[in-house]
Amino acid sequence: MSAILNTAGAVVSDHEARRTVRRERINAAIRYVLLGAVFLVMLYPMLWLVGSSFKSNSEIFTEIGFWPSKFNLGSYAKGWKTTSEYTFATYFLNSFAIIIPRIIVTVISCVLVAYAFARFEFHGKKILFGIMVGTMMLPTIILRLPQYLMFKELGWLDTYLPLIVPSAFATDTFFVFLLVQFLRGIPRDMEEAAQIDGCNPVQLLWYIIVPLLKPAIISVVVFQFIWTMNDFMGPLIYLSSVEKYPVSLALKMSIGATEEVEWASVIAISVVALVPSIVVFFLAQRHFIEGASSSGIKG
């Protein structure tokens, strides 16, 4: 009798295990189907953009699919030359002439300000931090007019200075807030040990804090690179010479230069303009994801 019960129990357990495995497989299949559908919906505009860069001007508006009937590289060559006397090589160099110094001053200023907020006690600290967080809510457009008038008085119009210098004063408050949150998550044990060994605050920042902040700093670099690369309004307001235009303005100029827009060329250069941001993201992907997902706590 006992043997029969044991056999029946084993059959029931085996049946239940099979049901559990089958249910997990069905759930996994549903998840993959949903993820695949969302992936296709989100990625289709990018696929369409890349595919359309190889189409002719007429095919772009007659075919909804992204795969071209014939691969045409002429739009890349034509778009690169532009209708002005400068090629897009000039405009890419102009973009990097803005992006690189802006990233450098942003990292330096934001790390210093975040270090002060996270590690030092001073009068009015909470009020100042609240004001800084409050400025994150201000629409950028309301600052454009006073900034324009100020830079005009300084004689900085038609130069890159209005696009770079403000970042040297930690005006990108989102980055300061991000770094402060990371610093608050870093234990102070190593800093206290370094202080006992005689490190001053500057040495603490350089030798202890900055290496621990590496994921957050890389996140700042990636965000600032992409945002500056895509910035259109800033260069449009402050730059008037075509030879100083970054890629964003040059793309707009190529659309409005003639009555009949060569959309194939515009789309082709748009694809090329995406390459630097994609390269930077994938180069920093490991640290960027670590910085975005962790609180900066190190063992």
Interval 236-250: pLDDT, tens? 999 999 899 999 898
The per-residue pLDDT for 74 is 82
- CB proximity list for 90: less than 8 A, separation 6 or greater: 243
pLDDT at position 4 is: 57
Q: Please state, for a pLDDT cut of 90, what percent of the chain lies above it.
A: 30
pLDDT confidence of residue 57? 78
In 56-165, which residue ranges form alpha helices assigned H by DSSP?
Answer: 57-62, 74-81, 88-119, 125-135, 141-154, 161-164
**CATH number, span 81-295:** 1.10.3720.10
Q: Give per-residue pLDDT as tens, 50-67.
A: 888 888 877 877 777 778
What residues of the chain score a pLDDT lower than 50?
295-299
Taking only the tens place, the pLDDT of each residue in 17-31 is 888 888 899 999 999
Q: Which of 274, 298, 294 is nearest to 47 (CA)?
A: 274
Give the pLDDT confidence score for residue 42 in this predicted structure: 86
Which pLDDT value is given to residue 196? Answer: 85
Give 101-129 pLDDT, tens digit per residue.
999 999 999 999 999 998 888 888 899 99
pLDDT for position 65: 76
pLDDT at 110: 94
As a whole number of angstroms, the distance between CA 175 and CA 107 comes to: 9
Q: How far is CA 278 from CA 222, 231, 272, 275, 282, in A?
A: 10, 16, 10, 5, 6
- The sign one gets for the Cα dihedral 203, 209, 215, 216 is negative
Sequence ranges of the domains in the chain? 1-53, 81-295
The Cα 177–Cα 110 span in angstroms is: 9
